[in-house]
Amino acid sequence: MNSAYQNKDDYLIIGLGKTGLSVARYLTARGKPFSIADTRLNPPGLEAFRQDWPEVSIWLGPLDIELTSSVSCLVVSPGISIADPAIEAAQKLGVGVVGDVELFCREVEQPIIAITGSNAKSTVTSLVGEMAAIAGLQVGVGGNIGLPVLDLLAQGKQDLYVLELSSFQLETTQSLNALGAALLNISEDHLDRYTGLDDYVFAKQRIFHRCSTAIFNRDDPLTLPIHGLNAARLSFGLAAPSQTNELGLVMHNNERWLMKGETSLMPASEVSLVGEHGLANALAAFALGFAAKLPLAAMRSAVTHFKALPHRCELIAERKGVTFYNDSKATNVGAMLAAVKGLAKPEAPTWVILGGEGKGQDFSPLKTALAKNIAGVALIGRDAAIIAEHLPEALLQKNFSHLQQAVAWLAEEAKMGEQVLLSPACASFDQFNSFEQRGEVFAQCVFDLPS
């Protein structure tokens, strides 16, 4: 074994990506010795890393127990499963296994607002960050969105941190102790990494451990906290609230209002986020804002003026009376169904673009959910044939090799007043570098259509 890996005071960073680099910067700034490993033989950024840290030992390729047990602590990036045999074996031998979020939580003393869920994490995280900023707080927003959490430390002392956290990040986090923790929703996702839905749910539920206020979705029983049972509770949902710790929607003078118990928050018509799922996201953000004791006026202002994030039910353009929406971030069935339901208009059927890398999901809910108010489906990507098996038999559908072909077909088929929604319910990596690139290609295809 190379002697470079024999120092038990060392950290081993596993994963040379955005997170791994942030950990390297963090440990370097604190004078902590480390080495790095990546399961890929030629990971992106390798040469740049070697230039910045020429003295650091690098291991490339599959992990082995001799490597992982030769240090005192493994800092595992979210893209690496802690179920890797070499990581599990090292943990049994007493080696610490943490992630960047755990290192962050051990360092900061400021309160943390934490958000997870299968869908809408980025929207709610960004919205709560804007609420805090409008309230005059110095706020750090990051995690699974924007900056890695350890890079937030370089911004100086903050009053509040608002973190989007994935299930992968939560697996290696023990010290979150969030002031407010929200589990927005659960739908099948990442089942190529988890043993089943229960395993995935348990990872998400870790966000509630030792939190002060647990926030869950009344419309999704899987979000009901199983940790943090001594925490205060707030819930949100589209039905009317029945008690003071519930947020929901109520009709007042023929207009829907967002409410907390009997307290009016704002008219639904003033919420900038589109669709029913947009209202649910606004309610979740309000709940988190209350947990952080933010002023109601600041919360209202943020919800009124918040601009939807790119690739999340983003209005692209109207062409010949047909409206095109980019929801490329919808990488699972739950996100896609939320978008379809949220944009549903009985008088204006929706055309949907589906397909990509399915991640082992169950597509059977599509048969019922797409039976009404859907004009047709354009299928793309690797798992198009699998999705096709679960579509309603009478639904018009067509398979395309490229997204550009699908957009061209839909532009011909869709009638004035109808809408086209890119909401693939799949990951993008079979045809694109990222969901962002997929959304950008879709938008360009729409812009190129005759107006």
Q: Which residues are marked as active site?
A: 121, 144, 190
261: left (phi over 0), alpha (psi -120 to 50) or beta: left
| C-alpha–C-alpha distance, residues 388 and 382, integer Å | 12
| C-alpha–C-alpha distance, residues 260 and 294, integer Å | 14
Read off the DSSP letter of residue 391. S
The half-sphere exposure of 17 on its side-chain side, counting CA atoms within 13 A, is: 16
177 token code pair: 């102790």
CB-based contacts of 151, cutoff 8 Å, min separation 6: 22, 25, 142
3-state secondary structure of 350: strand
Q: How far is CA 50 from CA 24, 26, 36, 280, 322, in A?
A: 12, 17, 11, 46, 51
Burial 236-248 (b: 16+ CB within 10 A, else e): bbeeebeeebbbb
Q: Give the angle 424-315-408 at the CA atoms, nearest 5°.
A: 60
- Residue at 116: amino acid letter: T
Strand partners, 12: 35, 74
| C-alpha–C-alpha distance, residues 398 and 384, integer Å | 10
Longest Cα pair distance anywhere in the chain, in angstroms?
75
CB-based contacts of 442, cutoff 8 Å, min separation 6: 316, 324, 326, 328, 353, 403, 407, 422
Per residue, the 3-state secondary structure of 167-225, as one string, reads: HHHHHCCCCCCCCEEEECCCCCCCCCCCCCHHHHHHHHHHHHCCCCEEEEECCCHHHCC
Burial 283-321 (b: 16+ CB within 10 A, else e): bbbbbbbbbbebebebbbbbbeebebbebbbbebeebee
Q: How far is CA 155 from CA 138, 159, 330, in A?
A: 10, 12, 31
118 token code pair: 């299968």
